[in-house]
Amino acid sequence: MRLPAQCLPHLLGEKRTSSLEVRFEYDRDDWKHVSRMEVLRDACAGRRVIHVGCVDHDVATIERKIEEGLWLHRRLCDCAERCFGVDIQEDGIRYMQERLGYADVEALDIASTESSRLSAGRWDCLLLPDVLEHIDDPVDFLTRLNRRFRANVSEIVITVPNALSRVNFKRARRNFERLNSDHRYWFTPYTLAKVVSRARFRVGTIRMCRHGAVSGRMWYRNYFLRRHPLMRNNIVLFAEFGE
């Protein structure tokens, strides 16, 4: 789906209103209820990718997700031409190098630390899967990434939890919320696009998907979420680097 053209002045701060109604432009793919894994594999297939946050929390999480067949970095490496993993978790990067045999990984803060291995060549995609909600100042973080990589990366792909998800509404009706205690923000498709635009990226398409497997046994939920894309629990936004 895409934001309508009339939203662009609001994204760029040229217009302001306290009652903006955003009616998205949908295409055929928006009515498919698929997993985040499927969307990201399609986005990275045959491409040269920088995967930010490749450790996925810690070593224990890597081991558990490998056993379940759900570790994102391995799945991306299986389909990408090249997938370079970056994370601030030094223990996790060391584990990936020494125990799992990954050479294309590096422990660094990608927004603050230069890496000759990343700046040397051309990359198709800078992938930030469920990273932005952990960042204190997401506009500043994305602005620094834009300046650092706009000369040698074509596209940025960002995923975040969706504040408008069906499960969040169900919990709110029961007077509680459940979330990762390290999260700073909830996003909606528009507010994510606003943050990305403030960092001088050009917003392209947005996909709504499920963070987790789409189980065929949950037929009613799947039917509901096929009809109501905005209530799926994960947002994937594609954007181009800008000046």
Cα–Cα nearest to 41, from 239, 171, 236: 236
Average pLDDT over residues 159-175: 97
The tens digit of pLDDT for each residue in 183-235 reads 999 999 999 999 999 999 999 999 999 998 887 677 888 889 999 999 999 99
- Note the pLDDT of residue 187: 98
Q: Distance between CA atoms of 91 and 29, rounded to whole angstroms?
A: 39
CATH number (domain holding residue 204): 3.40.50.150
- Note the pLDDT of residue 121: 87
Residue 9 falls inside a structural domain: no
Residue 2 falls inside a structural domain: no
- Note the pLDDT of residue 218: 76
Residue 69 falls inside a structural domain: yes
pTM above 0.85, yes or no: yes
Q: Which of 45-59, 140-154, 214-228 has the lowest mean pLDDT?
A: 214-228
Residue 148 falls inside a structural domain: yes
- Beta-sheet strands, E only, within 16-138: 48-52, 82-87, 105-107, 123-129
Which is more confidently placed, 209 or 58? 209
Cβ atoms of 77 and 105 within 8 Å: the answer is no
- Note the pLDDT of residue 147: 95
- Note the pLDDT of residue 241: 96
Cβ atoms of 63 and 70 within 8 Å: the answer is no
95 is in which domain, residue-wise?
29-240
* Sign, Cα dihedral of 73, 74, 75, 79: positive
Cβ atoms of 162 and 208 within 8 Å: the answer is yes
- Note the pLDDT of residue 212: 84
Average pLDDT over residues 89-95: 95
Question: Could you give phi then psi for residue 55, rounded to 5 degrees?
Answer: -65, -35
Residue 226's CB: how many other CB atoms inside 10 A?
14
- Note the pLDDT of residue 102: 96
Residue 197 falls inside a structural domain: yes
- Note the pLDDT of residue 85: 97
Residue 227 falls inside a structural domain: yes
* Sign, Cα dihedral of 118, 60, 137, 166: positive
pLDDT at residue 107 above 90?
yes
Q: How confident is the model at residue 179 (pLDDT cuts 50, 70, 90)?
A: very high
- Note the pLDDT of residue 171: 96
Residue 78 falls inside a structural domain: yes
Cβ atoms of 185 and 128 within 8 Å: the answer is no
pLDDT at residue 95 above 90?
yes
Residue 183 falls inside a structural domain: yes
- Note the pLDDT of residue 84: 97
Give the whole-number percent of the chain exceeding pLDDT 90: 89
Q: How many domains is the chain partitioned into structurally? A: 1
